[in-house]
Chain A
């Protein structure tokens, strides 16, 4: 504990009117002690177990299929279930394929666009500065003020 921090002396805390404060102080002390004692342990455990997850089943590890199968109409209900599962799987794949432009293509395209934008921006600024310099050459001090869009009150 901090030695610098002011602590109320025991005899004061024993006084009758200090009862509530005494409770508070005791609670705080208890918590601090607990943190000090367990803090290291819990932190260590968190670090160690955070990275690893246990999975005792092979079904997940090898991505096994459902073990209930039927072929050529031996059990129509099972076949229906199999078909539904197959369709769901295919649906997912289709959704993945349906995208016209893949993320990678988009990234490449976007990069190109960005460079274009940058070039345009640069040209614009160059143009502006060149115009300004021209103005100064012609000695026209009164530069036309940039128009600021004013707020237009809507007509009822």
Chain B
């Protein structure tokens, strides 16, 4: 079946009228970017995920789908748990079909002599460096300048919980106000991985759990209702303490 933007799509559907943007200037190349859930077969574009077909300017098409299993893709930040130390690499569970590898040299200031202090069971926030279909994913905890910035080990007094991938995407959308509203009356820090794992830490255990509940409840809350949701969570917190 032929589908267009905004439709509910199923695997096997093909895209109708793909509008491309013409670049002004040099050569008039028409570029179309196909996001997750779409694949190209010759001149046609087929859907390979069930969801809603979306389009963003300039000519970016993707399928917005509900998903819980993480498929690694390059450049995404994920929350992982170290499961194994072997030789010069760590194995990290990121919730994908396979464990990711993390070189011990991929930390800020790490050398062959000076290894990072990482134990099995530690939670890390890392970036996907290699994510191909047929190979083990590979993580790094530094950027191209060798700086750690926001990556690295997450402290052990936080809490990790899992949610659907679409919830993480919803929360990290620039339009989503939840984190800002929650941060108005609540001190907390969090690391949301694109793999559907969120690490959160607040001042006390109660606050941490409350914030986590707010985040999980946000999956079925529209943006305009989020103010109310946060107020409710804060009220229950006051009752507890």
Residues of A within 8 A of B (CB): 48-75, 78, 81
**Interface residues of chain B: helix, strand, loop or mixed (majority):** mixed
Q: Which residue of A lies closest to B75 (CB)?
A: A57
A73 to B189, CA, bound (A): 9
What total count of A-B pairs have CB within 8 Å?
129
Indicate with 1 or 0, residue by residue over B183-211, a CB within 8 angstroms of chain A CB atoms. Answer: 11011111111100000011100000000
- Main SS of the interface on chain A? mixed
Q: How far is the CB of A73 from chain B (nearest CB, A)?
A: 6
Q: Are A68 and B77 in contact (CB under 8 A)?
A: yes
B20 and A51 contact, CB distance less than 8 A: yes
| Contact A61-B190, Cβ < 8 Å, known A55-B60, A71-B182 | no
Interface residues on B, range: 35 or more
Is B34 an interface residue, CB under 8 A from the partner?
yes
For chain B, residues 173 to 189, give those with C-beta under 8 angstroms from any C-beta of chain A: 173-174, 179, 182-184, 186-189
Residues of B within 8 A of A71 (CB): 179, 182-184, 186-189
Which residues from chain A contact B193 at a C-beta distance below 8 Å?
67
- Nearest first, the 5 closest Cβ-Cβ pairs linking A and B are A71-B183, A67-B192, A72-B187, A68-B150, A70-B189
Task: Give B64-78 as 1s and 0s: 1 = Cβ < 8 Å from A's Cβ atoms.
Answer: 000000010111110
Cβ–Cβ < 8 Å partners of A62 in chain B: 56, 62, 169, 173
Q: Is B97 among interface residues, defined by CB-CB distance under 8 A? A: no
Contact B174 A63 (CB under 8 A): yes
Contacts of A58 in B (CB 8 A): 35-36, 62, 165, 169, 194
B8 within 8 A of A: no
- Interfacial chain A residues near B35, Cβ < 8 Å: 55-58, 60-61
Contact (Cβ within 8 A) A74 B75 = no
Alpha-carbon distance between A69 and B172 when the two chains are bound, in angstroms: 10
Q: Would you call B190 and A69 a contact (CB within 8 A)?
A: yes
* Cβ-closest chain A residue relative to B192: A67
Question: How far, in whole Å, are A67 and B168 apart by their CA atoms in the complex?
Answer: 9
Q: Contact mask B112-126 → A, CB, 8 Å, 1/0? A: 000000000000010
Q: Are B189 and A65 interface neighbours, CB within 8 A? A: no
Is A48 a contact of B36 with CB atoms below 8 Å? no
Q: A62-B173, A72-B183 are in contact. Are A67 and B191 (CB under 8 A)?
A: yes
